[in-house]
Amino acid sequence: MRGEPRRPAVAGTFYPADPKRLNALVTDLLAGATGVMLADWTSPEAVRGLLVPHAGLVYSGAIAALGWALAGLIRPTTIVLAGTDHQAWAQGVGVWTGGPWQTPLGDVAIDDALAAEIVALGVPFAQDDACHMEEHSLEVQLPLLARTCPDARIVPLGVSPRLRDHAGAGVMLGKLLAQKRAGGERILLVASSDMAHYPPASICESTDAELLEPLLRLDADALRDLEAMAIAANRPGLVCGLCGIDPVRVSLAALVEMGAHRGILLRAATSADAGGDPRRTVGYAAAAFT
């Protein structure tokens, strides 16, 4: 598949558009992630997936950098990026099948063959470049991804809130990716989501801690139910527990099919930790799945 490149939609807002400024920011963020340790993990290759946040890099970049620093140790050949379709443009899961994604730091190539295979899975997967054109949830990953995994290709997936069968989509995707990995391909699945939105910092931290528990044990149904309970509890300022719960639910089901059995939290924080207003915060977390 070949097509027109995707041009940056949020350069200059979510991250610097100037290459020198962006390069300096990425360098600083990754310098702060040098403490990523494998702990008791057997090897970087045991990591099948990651969770990373997708806010402006000045707010969530320090947390996202932890995930991408680990990705650099894994050295994947292909990264499947599952992101939020905030505007619900896609019907289910929109697969990018066009040209490379441009960034101020250079282009990121597409794994055309794998993208075609994911489209061939059928409903709810479908070719849909349009749902990606203005969406930021995957674009903001690219400066860090391009630095730590410069030879990797990507397959961008936009997961819509209109998707009905998250588990079914995840199983389909996970079986395909497991087959590829069993054949020796170094494929990494990365889900993009921020955590709790807009409560005061203390409520953000406690809500995130609650939701990370089922997320790290790969229990997508419990995660869905617990988020619904948190919203129903009318916690001050809380409008959602994960703005990317749809790609996360799909990714968790896929990771189970890929053989993952646990998630390991790399770090959690809030926008207040990066200098934001502590009365109105957003939560961020980075995790690895083995």
Counting beta carbons within 10 angstroms of the beta carbon of residue 151, is it exposed (0 to 12), middle (13 to 18) or buried (19 or more)?
exposed
Q: Structure pTM?
A: 0.96
SS3 49: strand
| Dist CA 52 CA 288 (whole Å) | 9
Domains of the chain by start residue, with CATH:
19-289 (3.40.830.10)
The sign one gets for the Cα dihedral 145, 150, 152, 154 is positive
What string of pLDDT tens digits covers the 290 residues of the chain? 458 999 999 999 999 999 999 999 999 999 999 766 545 555 777 899 999 999 999 999 999 999 999 999 999 999 999 999 888 888 999 999 999 999 999 999 999 999 999 999 999 999 999 999 999 999 999 999 999 999 999 999 999 999 999 999 999 999 999 999 999 999 999 999 999 999 999 999 999 999 999 999 999 999 999 999 999 999 999 999 999 999 999 999 999 999 999 999 999 999 999 999 999 999 999 999 99
Which residue type is seen at 93? V
| Dist CA 285 CA 34 (whole Å) | 17
